Chains A and B, each alone.
Chain A
């Protein structure tokens, strides 16, 4: 009965597989390490933004403190690896679970806050945690943790000679984040989240458990972001509080989704593909003069896009559900 709907879902899936295949082939043609580095970061931010989008886009609980979960993922992996010899793969999982639990523990009081107060709480909590880590000696305090480099190996997820393993992991992560979103979009949770975002009162009257919807979204979102953080720790092999928990990470997760289309399936991907290379390129070509020209250009572009397309770039592609030919009159008469 709903062929169009099923077709659209299938088309999204096929398009995603197609794009992933193209992305996977790119390193065969692009050998430049600098460009490969940008590609890794782009995919990582695409995955992060996609995960951020679950809580903030679909469920409407705007978080500007997701750097917290990114940092927790990075630190969990790094601490477990350097102090206890736990392989990063397990560290990744542990980081994800810890973040999910902490997200729910923080959500418990914070989801009772309305409107802007929730956003402010997320910023404050992330900043407090940053300060705690800067003073936590066991975790290296402000100096951070240097992850000792050993042989290139998938086991320890360390590669010094090539960026390609990182590239493929980041690609996989982006695919997973996208797929989780795709899957949740047509599930009870997906509908509940959007209902909560649009109108919590009405949602409640329809049997939606508003509070637990938010908790669920926070857990999934934090888990995936923490995996990204774990990956980043292995990728850069040196972390300190500011470099994994700084406010800029929270912004870099939010901005691609906002520019691409908040609360949409493709928005974060599209946003990241445009924004992250732009960030890196402006920094390396016109930055470095110490005058912040790169930031001016970057900020200007963001303002331009937001003015021209406040609902996100993805709306350029979406065919609007065709409004029935004569809505108003027919509806009144029928």
Chain B
């Protein structure tokens, strides 16, 4: 079986600045893959390229065997790529349930079905009690959860999570980790960008480390954290010598 997502030789330049250079990665079905790296490594750029926020300067993105490189974000969503935003982008004037209904309308135009689906997803994410609250009244951790719920309502094959676990209290992030596991258990492939290693490492099946726009190393979390190159990328060369 082919990989669900395949990125081939992606290069992205922003007027002189090269954010990604010749990046090739693939994500298999049912995996939880962590995309990590220090600040400025090009994680978010790569993430946005996969989600379709903009087109890469060079390279190809294959999803489910099809070339989606030049498809706009909305069409990628229809094909099964769901995403969250690092800086939450709730529909603030709408209630929580209405936010999620927007997502479920990709799969159905029947309002009754869309609403039912939205309730299911909210229950799955532990937000159903807050269904009729305005999104603007949610606390930050709930807004993160709403981001995930909205994306799940689009019934994605691949869920892209952009730092959903960052900046939460230990209890909240533990809840988040459980949620991601349950998402994967429903058969959805997860690609998550995280900044903080200790949160992602126990969760992911495979980690891809980006540094200075390139893939530094990829492999099992255990191997990755021990790799001298990773340690030096995060902490500087001095610490890598002893490793």
Q: Name A's B-contacting residues (CB within 8 A).
A: 1-2, 4-5, 186-188, 191-192, 194-195, 197-199, 201-210, 263, 321, 323-324, 327-328, 330-334
| A-side contacts of B114, CB under 8 Å | 188
Q: At the interface, yes or no: B105 with Cβ under 8 Å from chain A?
A: yes
Q: At the interface, yes or no: B1 with Cβ under 8 Å from chain A?
A: no
Residue among A194, A209, A263, A324 making CB contact with B98, cutoff 8 Å: A194
Distance to closest chain A CB from B200 (angstroms)? 22
Q: At the interface, yes or no: B83 with Cβ under 8 Å from chain A?
A: yes
Residue among A188, A209, A327, A332 making CB contact with B109, cutoff 8 Å: A188
* A198/B91 in contact, CB under 8 A: yes
Q: At the interface, yes or no: B77 with Cβ under 8 Å from chain A?
A: yes
Q: At the interface, yes or no: B243 with Cβ under 8 Å from chain A?
A: no
Q: How far is the CA of A123 from the CA of B105 in the complex (A)?
A: 34
Residue among A186, A197, A206 making CB contact with B154, cutoff 8 Å: A206
* B89/A209 in contact, CB under 8 A: no
Distance to closest chain B CB from A267 (angstroms)? 13
* A323/B102 in contact, CB under 8 A: no
| B-side contacts of A5, CB under 8 Å | 115
Distance to closest chain A CB from B145 (angstroms)? 9
* B111/A205 in contact, CB under 8 A: no
Given contacts A1-B116, A330-B129, A331-B141, 10 further A-B contacts (CB under 8 A): A195-B91, A195-B102, A198-B93, A204-B72, A204-B73, A205-B85, A207-B77, A207-B78, A207-B154, A327-B130
Assuming the contacts A205-B51, A321-B133, asked whether A191 and B102 have C-beta atoms less than 8 A apart, the reply is yes
* B91/A202 in contact, CB under 8 A: yes
* B129/A324 in contact, CB under 8 A: yes
A-B contact pairs, 6 of them (CB 8 A): A201-B89, A205-B82, A207-B106, A321-B133, A323-B133, A331-B138
Q: At the interface, yes or no: B172 with Cβ under 8 Å from chain A?
A: yes
Q: How far is the CA of A186 from the CA of B95 in the complex (A)?
A: 13
| A-side contacts of B75, CB under 8 Å | 207
Write the B93-127 contact mask toward A (1 if CB under 8 angstroms, else 0). Answer: 11100100111011001010011100100000010
**Chain B interface size range:** 35 or more
* A321/B105 in contact, CB under 8 A: no
Q: How far is the CA of A328 from the CA of B137 in the complex (A)?
A: 10
Q: At the interface, yes or no: B151 with Cβ under 8 Å from chain A?
A: yes
Q: How far is the CA of A331 from the CA of B214 in the complex (A)?
A: 39
* A1/B111 in contact, CB under 8 A: no
Q: At the interface, yes or no: B17 with Cβ under 8 Å from chain A?
A: no
Q: At the interface, yes or no: B169 with Cβ under 8 Å from chain A?
A: yes
| A-side contacts of B139, CB under 8 Å | 327-328, 331-332
Distance to closest chain A CB from B53 (angstroms)? 8
Residue among B74, B89, B142 making CB contact with A207, cutoff 8 Å: B74
* A187/B129 in contact, CB under 8 A: no
Residue among B85, B101, B133 making CB contact with A327, cutoff 8 Å: B133
Q: How far is the CA of A107 from the CA of B81 in the complex (A)?
A: 29
* B93/A331 in contact, CB under 8 A: no
Q: At the interface, yes or no: B150 with Cβ under 8 Å from chain A?
A: yes
Distance to closest chain A CB from B171 (angstroms)? 7
Q: How far is the CA of A307 from the CA of B111 in the complex (A)?
A: 37
Q: How far is the CA of A311 from the CA of B119 in the complex (A)?
A: 29
Q: Which residue of A lies closest to B145 (CB)?
A: A331
Closest 10 CB pairs of A and B: A207-B106, A207-B77, A198-B91, A202-B89, A204-B73, A195-B102, A321-B132, A206-B103, A199-B89, A204-B74
Q: Which residue of B lies closest to A203 (CB)?
A: B102
Distance to closest chain A CB from B96 (angstroms)? 10
* B93/A194 in contact, CB under 8 A: yes
Q: How far is the CA of A187 from the CA of B98 in the complex (A)?
A: 11
Q: How far is the CA of A135 from the CA of B213 in the complex (A)?
A: 61
Q: How far is the CA of A188 from the CA of B111 in the complex (A)?
A: 7
Q: At the interface, yes or no: B227 with Cβ under 8 Å from chain A?
A: no
Distance to closest chain A CB from B114 (angstroms)? 8
| A-side contacts of B111, CB under 8 Å | 186-188
Q: Which residue of B lies closest to A330 (CB)?
A: B129
* B98/A323 in contact, CB under 8 A: no
Write the B137-177 contact mask toward A (1 if CB under 8 angstroms, else 0). Answer: 11101100000001101100000000000000101100000
Q: How far is the CA of A328 from the CA of B139 in the complex (A)?
A: 6
* B119/A191 in contact, CB under 8 A: no
| B-side contacts of A332, CB under 8 Å | 139, 141, 169, 171-172
* A324/B105 in contact, CB under 8 A: no
* A331/B142 in contact, CB under 8 A: yes
| A-side contacts of B66, CB under 8 Å | none
* A208/B101 in contact, CB under 8 A: no
| B-side contacts of A194, CB under 8 Å | 91, 93-94, 98, 102
* B102/A205 in contact, CB under 8 A: no
* A205/B93 in contact, CB under 8 A: no
Q: At the interface, yes or no: B58 with Cβ under 8 Å from chain A?
A: no
